[in-house]
Structures are given as structure tokens and as C-alpha cells.
Amino acid sequence: MSGQLRTLKNRLRGVESTQKITKAMEMVAASKLKRYQKLREQTTPYVQSLEGVLNRLLHADIPPQHPLLETREEKETALLVITSDTGLCGSYNQNLIEEARRFLRGRSQAPVLIGIGKNGVNALSREKYAWHRTFTDAKTSQLETVITETGLLVETLFSEKKVDAVYAVYPHFTGKFIYRAATEKILPFQLETQEYYPGETSGSYILEPGREALFARLIPLVFAAKVRMIFMESLIAEHMARMNAMYQASENAKELIEMLVLLRNKIRQAAITKELIEIVSGSQALKN
């Protein structure tokens, strides 16, 4: 009986320390989430002004021409798979990998794969997919470099006509806190035609050094901003997923602890009762 009690106590201690770890991880994820959300907020004014400039240029009758906007027949494609480096974030990576697999199955010709994040890279490597380029274990300080390099790499692949379209698998936000794994075509770049708002059109602007030249410079910036937003969204989604997963784990641990404490108390009480019975029946036997 006392052996059972001891193993139960050990188990309880183990679960308690697990709970402490998951709690800590939840808090770490929460603080990281805040940091990335702030980063995204900082990027928003830039993206908005960039779109504003683009809109003013777009309001011309001349259709825009740029290598990144060119639509070609899709023979060769490239796929950007963005997952997280670390695990313990619930089904976050599984969903993304599943989405990537769906895309790969739908293609007769294997696309040029570019992987970001160890989880996705490892999972697809096991299925004998070859990577063109991977970025794994990137530190937070290297984030900027990874974003720029990925953007440039994709841009070069496309403009050198090595690929005819570029897709990205990433968690796309549909609401403030809702996201789902999605595949999006990022090149040829889709210009979002926004509603025409009255006021200053490009006609009244002095443009230097001319519409075409401005356009040629603007498109890569808009594309870089787009890639940046994709990265931001995936980082935010990752930490959101991890926070949720760790919250669930802590809750589960709490439930388990409650159950184990109850069981421990029952066993202890049973042992006491048994000893009492033994004493009482022993003294009774002596009296008789």
C-alpha cells in the first residue's frame, strides 16, 4: 500500500513540474506574440503609404508593365513553405505541411521548393522532396536578413524565368485571431485594384522621373512589403498557436493534478482505516 502511495506522489510531483514548464512556455509565447504584433503594427503605416503611392500611379489609363507582373504559362512553379523552427505549437505545423502536400500532389512536375522553418523542411525531406534553398534555425536578429533574402531569391527566380509562378504556403489571417493554412500565388504579382477614391489623382501630380520609371522602382518595394507581411503573419500565427497549445497543456495538467490528489488522499485514508481496523480487531481479540 505504501509503495503505491509513493509512486503516486512521484507522479504528482512530475505532473506539477510539467505544468510549471508549460505555464512558463505559455508566457514566453505570449510575450513573443506581443513583440511580433507590435512589429506588424509598425509595418502597417509603411505598407499603407506604399499602397497609396501605388494607387495614385495606377489611376492612369496605361496598363502597368513590369517583369514581376508578367503572366506566363505555368510550366515551372516555385513553392514557399513557411513553418516554425520549434515544435510544441499544436497542429500549427501539421496544417501547413498538409496544405503543402496537397499542393505538391496537385502538380505533375515537382516545384522548386524553398523552405523556411525546420518543421516543414524535415517533414517534406522525409518524403524525398528536394529543397532548392532552406532557411532553418534563424535567430530573431537574423529575421530581417531572412525576409530580404527570401524576397530576393523568389524575385530572381521569377524574373530570370526559371519559374513561371510562385506560390506560398503560410497561415493566412482571415480575422484578427483567426487564421488557416493557405496557399497563395505571390508571383506574378497581383495588383489589388482598390476602389477609386476621389481627390488627387496622378494627373495632377508632378512625377519624377516619369510614371514608368517610378513604377519600375515601386513594384519591387511593394512585393518586398508583401513578403514581409507574410512572414509577420506566420510568426504571429505561430506564437498564437503555441500559446493556445501551452494553455491547453497547463489546463490538462491541472485536471490531472486534481485527479491524482484525490486518488492520493483516498489511498492514504484507506491505509489509515485499515490500520485502525487492525488495531481495534487486535485489542478485541485480546479482550476475548
Tell me the closest approach of the beta carbon of residue 124 to other proteins, in angstroms. 30
Q: Which is nearer to other proteins, 104 or 146 (CB)?
A: 146
Q: Which is nearer to other proteins, 103 or 205 (CB)?
A: 205
Tell me the closest approach of the beta carbon of residue 236 to other proteins, in angstroms. 16
Q: Which is nearer to other proteins, 236 or 241 (CB)?
A: 236
Is residue 128 classed as helix, strand or coil in its secondary structure? Answer: coil
| Contact footprint for other proteins (CB under 8 A) | 39, 42-43, 45-46, 49-50, 52-53, 56-57, 200, 202, 204-209, 213-214, 217-218, 221, 224-225, 228
- Rounded to whole angstroms, what are the CA distances from 204 to 60, 190, 200, 212? 11, 26, 7, 16
Tell me the closest approach of the beta carbon of residue 230 to other proteins, in angstroms. 13
Distance (Å, whole) CA 41 – CA 35: 10
Are the C-beta atoms of 236 and 37 separated by less than 8 Å?
yes
Angle, helices 143-159 vs 211-287, to 10°: value is 130
Contacts of 9 (CB under 8 A, 6+ apart): 264
- Rounded to whole angstroms, what are the CA distances from 135 to 25, 36, 219, 231, 261? 24, 19, 25, 13, 46
Q: Which is nearer to other proteins, 45 or 63 (CB)?
A: 45
Tell me the closest approach of the beta carbon of residue 46 to other proteins, in angstroms. 5
Q: Which is nearer to other proteins, 11 or 35 (CB)?
A: 35
Q: Which is nearer to other proteins, 15 or 154 (CB)?
A: 154
Tell me the closest approach of the beta carbon of residue 54 to other proteins, in angstroms. 10
For 198-226, b/e burial (b = at least 16 CB within 10 A) is eeeeeeeeeeeeeeeebbeebbbebbbbb
Half-sphere CA count of 195, side-chain side, radius 13 A: 2
Tell me the closest approach of the beta carbon of residue 65 to other proteins, in angstroms. 17
Backbone angle region of 66, left / alpha / beta, with phi > 0 → left and psi within -120 to 50 → alpha = beta
Tell me the closest approach of the beta carbon of residue 216 to other proteins, in angstroms. 9
Tell me the closest approach of the beta carbon of residue 68 to other proteins, in angstroms. 17
Contacts of 239 (CB under 8 A, 6+ apart): 29, 30, 32, 33, 36, 89
Q: Which is nearer to other proteins, 137 or 208 (CB)?
A: 208
- Closest to 163 measured CA to CA, from 218, 121, 107, 213: 107
- Closest to 137 measured CA to CA, from 156, 157, 122: 122
> Which residues on neighbouring strands pair with residue 112, listed in sequence order?
78
Q: Which is nearer to other proteins, 172 or 211 (CB)?
A: 211
